[in-house]
């Protein structure tokens, strides 16, 4: 984690009036929630996708997420509107490749918002982000928040 970049991001965040936080599977993984695509711990590494993508599997587990399942139009519209009206968008732990959701940070960037990406690895959002903070969210976010809203020194 680059301390100078974190300080730059904290200064921008501390001055922001409207912040949007966009999270992905990386945030889930750090919280202990299995992702689908991780080579070692992802659900597809442990289960056969063809076995899960059946009506029987769906009825056995109503929490199953189907690939190609559309986002609710209302949720997507609300997310686009939030991104279009923010001055800072934090993108945390996302690959930036799953559409239409991956378009949200791009919307914010197009309207002039500062996009701050927090991710251990490079992503396609590197080109969109004003600042790229490399590291796990569990490390970077607390440091960022502590700097952005630090109490004034006595």
Q: Are strands 88-92 and 131-134 parallel, antiparallel or unpaired?
A: unpaired
Quote the CA–CA distance of 146 and 154 in Å, as a whole number.
Answer: 16
Domain covering 3-32+73-148: architecture: 3-Layer(aba) Sandwich (3.40)
> Interior CA angle at 106 toward 143 and 89, to 5°?
30
pLDDT at 113: 97
pLDDT at 35: 59
Compute the radius of gyration of the chain from its Cα atoms: 17
pTM for the predicted model, two decimal places: 0.78
Which residues are paired to 115 by β-bridges?
Answer: 89
pLDDT at 44: 64
54, two tokens: 């059946």
Query: Which pLDDT band holds residue 41 (cuts at 50, 70, 90)?
Result: low
Q: Tell which residue, 102, 107, 144, has the closest CA to residue 125.
A: 102
DSSP 60: H
Is residue 38 pLDDT above 80, yes or no?
A: no
Q: Is 133 within 8 Å of 5 (Cβ atoms)?
A: yes
**pLDDT per position as a tens digit, 122-153:** 999 999 999 999 999 989 999 999 999 888 76
Q: Which residue has the tokens 């080109």?
A: 127
22, two tokens: 């966009």
**pLDDT per position as a tens digit, 48-59:** 666 766 677 666
């Amino acid at each position: 984690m680059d301390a100078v970049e974190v300080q730059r991001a904290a200064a921008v965040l501390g001055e922001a009036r409207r912040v949007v936080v966009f999270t992905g599977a990386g945030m889930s993984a750090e919280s202990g929630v299995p992702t689908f695509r991780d080579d070692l711990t992802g659900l597809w590494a442990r289960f056969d996708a063809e076995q899960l993508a059946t009506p029987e599997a769906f009825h056995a587990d109503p929490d199953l997420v189907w690939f190609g399942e559309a986002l609710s139009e209302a949720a997507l519209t609300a997310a686009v509107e939030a991104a279009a009206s923010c001055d800072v968008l934090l993108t945390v732990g996302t690959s930036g490749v799953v559409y239409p959701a991956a378009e949200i940070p791009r919307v914010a960037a197009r309207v002039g918002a500062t996009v701050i990406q927090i991710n251990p690895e490079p992503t396609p959002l590197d080109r969109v982000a004003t600042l790229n903070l490399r590291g796990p969210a569990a490390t970077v976010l607390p440091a960022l928040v502590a700097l952005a809203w630090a109490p004034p020194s006595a």
